[in-house]
Amino acid sequence: MKEELFVSGRNIPNIDPYLNIWHWQIPGYLFLGGLAAGILFFASFFTIMGKENKMEATVKKAPMIVPFVLMLGLFFLFLDLKHKLYFWQLYTTIRLESPMGWGSWVLMIITPISILWSASYMKEVFPKWDWKFKILNTIEAWLIKNRKIIAWPMAIYAVILGIYTGILLSAFNARPLWNTSILGPLFLVSGMSTAAAVIMLMSKDHKERKIMGRIDILLIIVELFFIIHLFMGFLAGSEAQINAANLFLGGKFTTPFFAFVVILGLIFPLIIEIFELKGFKVPIIVPAVLILLGGLIFRFLMVEAGQITRYLY
């Protein structure tokens, strides 16, 4: 049994010495938010580039799941609230210094955009679809005409949402593991990588899969670099941050982190995707599912470990 003596003026249950307030809902939402952000970014990016007919799964099919992904994520956030019936106060209380306030507004904007985007492609993805009311058909016609204009704010808000999933943690400077600005880009890249995996799973077009595979390879390499950079930063930091990093470099999170996130969730899919690009026959479901699982486990570990780390000694 490990015991630790500690003398402190602060002993607040569930906050000091260990934070114990964020459970499965938060990493679950961070995963879904990153996934949705990635899919919406790719959809708007290829629309802006004028490739919507060459990248059908990316622009048309994959965004169909995004409203559901976002709503599920929002539901997770709702479950996390202590006073659930007062959730609407996040929208009546404007506080620039509140990460949750920022997140609420980003979600408030991007969820309707994603619904409108999916609606504009409903008839193309489901040919038998009928909107029934004339007004809905008029709106649809307007949306179809203005897709490129919608794509711009969608791309920008997708990036904000992707970065926000990391910022939610890194805005919380009181925990050493989260006190690093690299979490924003890291979570964005990781979310985009999971999105590329979902698109590859949904796509039936070899050319499209190849393009997404290439993008994913790049994203995984960047993500690995960010992870190395994350620990470099910690190890060059204060004693509290070195301790935080040591949870992953020999401590209790080492095996799950390196086995399931770094090796099985990043390096192994990377190798498989490089083989596929070289022309070898690969069932795409394997790297895609591993990337998704790796992304999910990564968020669980970061949230769990971050709550354990502390400055207070």
Partner 1 sequence: MKLVKLQDTSTDAGCGFRVTGFISQLETRNKKHFQTIKNRTMKNSKYDGSFYLNPYLGGVILGTVLLLSFYISGRGLGASGAVKNTVAATVNAVAPQHVQNSAYYCQFAGGDKTPMNNWLIYEVLGVLAGAFISGIIFNRLKLKVEHSPKITSRRRLIFALAGGLVFGFGAQLARGCTSGAALSGMAVLSLGGYITMVAIFGTAFVVAWILRKNWI
Q: Which residues bind partner 1 (CB under 8 A)?
A: 206, 210, 255, 259, 263-264, 268, 271-272, 275, 279-284, 286
Residue 113, SS3 per DSSP: helix
Least distance to partner 1, CB of residue 278, Å: 8
Cβ-based nearer residue to partner 1, 138 or 255: 255
Distance of CA 106 to the CA centre of its chain: 14
CA torsion, points 258, 99, 42, 108, in degrees to nearest 10? 140
Distance (Å, rounded) from C-alpha 136 to C-alpha 154? 21
Cβ-based nearer residue to partner 1, 83 or 281: 281
Least distance to partner 1, CB of residue 217, Å: 15
Cβ-based nearer residue to partner 1, 128 or 206: 206
Cβ-based nearer residue to partner 1, 265 or 295: 265
Distance (Å, rounded) from C-alpha 268 to C-alpha 270? 5
Cβ-based nearer residue to partner 1, 9 or 279: 279
**CB-CB contact of 120 with 10 (8 Å):** no
Distance (Å, rounded) from C-alpha 163 to C-alpha 154? 14
Query: Which residues touch 23 (CB under 8 Å, ≥6 apart)?
Result: 80
Least distance to partner 1, CB of residue 65, Å: 22
Residue 27, SS3 per DSSP: helix
Cβ-based nearer residue to partner 1, 242 or 267: 267
**CB-CB contact of 101 with 108 (8 Å):** no
Distance of CA 137 to the CA centre of its chain: 33
Query: Between the CA of residue 51 and those of 48, 143, 211, what are the distances in Å?
Result: 8, 18, 12
Question: In 146-284, which ranges are continuous DSSP H helix?
Answer: 147-170, 183-202, 206-235, 239-246, 254-255, 268-277
Least distance to partner 1, CB of residue 277, Å: 10
Cβ-based nearer residue to partner 1, 127 or 283: 283
Residue 92: how many other CB atoms lie within 10 Å: 7
Least distance to partner 1, CB of residue 2, Å: 12
Least distance to partner 1, CB of residue 203, Å: 12
Least distance to partner 1, CB of residue 192, Å: 24
